[in-house]
Amino acid sequence: MDALNSLTDHQRSVLEQYQSRTYSEDISSSIRILRENGWDIELAEQNSYQNTDSQTYATHHEQDSPSSTSALLGNNTSTHSRSSNKRLLWIFMWPFSLVWRILGSLFQFTARLLNRPSITGPRRDARTEADRFLRDFESTYGTTHPTFFSEGGYTQALKAAKRELKYMLVVICSGEHDDNDAFCRETLTDVELLDFLHQQQVICWAGNVRYTEAYQVSNTLQATTYPFLAIIALQHINGTSKMSVIDRMEGPLSASSIIRRFDSVIARIGQSLDRLRAERAQREAERRLRQEQDQAYRESLNADQRKQELLQKKKEAALKAKQAKEDMARKRRHYIQYLCQHALKRDIAPDQKATRISFRLANGDRVIRQFSGDDSLVSLYEYIEAYSHMDDTMISGEPVSLPKDYEHQYKFTMHSPFPKTVYLPDPSKKIIDETGLWPSATLIVDANEEEEEEEESQESHGEDVD
């Protein structure tokens, strides 16, 4: 009993299977054989038959051995005869033990064959079988059950458990077994078990051996009786990581037994799995950090590029504005030069009516000039513009023509002193038609200060951009 108490739940399960297969009632002997074979039930079962044959032969041989040398010498003929008979008996019994092992294997194969799903029905994919199992289970036992994996089949569940570093619980049922109904109705609906699986974030995949995939999984995991459960997790073995079966449970089990077995698994490999999770979390954190750094670098680079592009556009705009301003200044100079060559030298014909206009300039100078009555109001502005720039550089030199695509803007206005009447450079109005300008008038010339301030502001802005 002490030897039985020292066993783990897994070892007890293996012991029960071994005694059921070999029909052995000697617990101590069964534990010894299993320990000698590393708790490998197949190897222990095979070696147990061989040991039985050898022990049988050894027992008979010891019984026939003489107790002393004299007895051997005295009964040589009889002993030789009995030894030969025992050897023949051992040789005769050996085929029976071999047949026994073969029958055991055939029994296991037949049990699996009887549970094989029918191949005459329609073949369904893994997702369809998972959905059908869920519908069948809920229609019979209700909606209180573990969260069965429904995103695919067994392979997809295995990949999800490996990807997410979670425990995986495989549940394989068979409606032909007497214990199946009680297991599904009581164990798989137990609230304590459901809370445990939820807290441990266990991926639970379930199937019925009547369906193709569950039958294949049953063969892969070497299930011998049902219900069958297996706990699978990622293991790091010999430098490689792979999904391995950590524990397997066969036959009817209570919810508390499953939780204890699960706790035992967690105690054995929990630290290893936590270490893998920590390593993966660290790699994921490093990956996110690299992504954030790359993103920040790209955003900073894009911001610098946008800033450079904006600065370049401003420089180009300032350059274009400067060129346009220089071109405008050049055309304006040519236009004023043209006025100096023509407006100051304009003569009045003897037959034309003339008016005498006195200009009082903004600098205090007074200028008097006669204009023809047929001249437009623009001629007044042209004269003052030319007079204000009258020097040798404007008058002398080769004749200058009017610049193309140019509209001259005057930086001053004229108005009469009283009553105040403003006269704009309107080419459609003649002097003779303005009563205030005929036959004589005095006009005050005022500089447009707003235009000068605007020009100075544009020049200052252009310098800042450069």
Q: Please tell me whether the overall predicted TM-score, pTM, comes out greater than 0.75 for this model.
A: no
Most confident listed range (54-58, 145-149, 274-278): 145-149
pLDDT, tens digit (0-9, with 9 covering 90-100), for 138-189: 999 999 999 999 888 999 999 999 999 999 999 999 988 889 999 999 999 9
Q: With left for phi above 0 and alpha for psi between -120 and 50, is residue 239 left, alpha or beta?
A: left
Mean pLDDT of 254-264: 94
Q: The domain 336-465: what is its CATH number?
A: 3.10.20.90
The yes or no reply on domain 126-253 and CATH 3.40.30.10 is yes
Dmax of the chain from CA atoms? 186
Residue-level pLDDT at 98: 61
For the sheet containing 240-250, what is the strand order? 203-208, 168-173, 228-237, 240-250
Confidence of residue 256 (pLDDT cuts 50, 70, 90): very high
Confidence of residue 286 (pLDDT cuts 50, 70, 90): very high
Per-residue burial over 378-396, b = 16 or more CB atoms within 10 Å of its CB, e = otherwise: bbbbbbbbbbbeeeeebee
Q: What are the structural domain ranges in the chain?
A: 2-63+85-114, 126-253, 336-465
Residue-level pLDDT at 69: 33
Mean pLDDT of 391-409: 78
Q: Is the pLDDT of residue 456 over 70?
A: no
pLDDT, tens digit (0-9, with 9 covering 90-100), for 185-238: 999 999 999 999 999 999 999 999 988 899 999 999 999 899 999 999 998 777
Residue-level pLDDT at 48: 64
Q: Is the pLDDT of residue 17 over 80?
A: no
Residue-level pLDDT at 118: 43
Residue with tokens 């297991």: 183
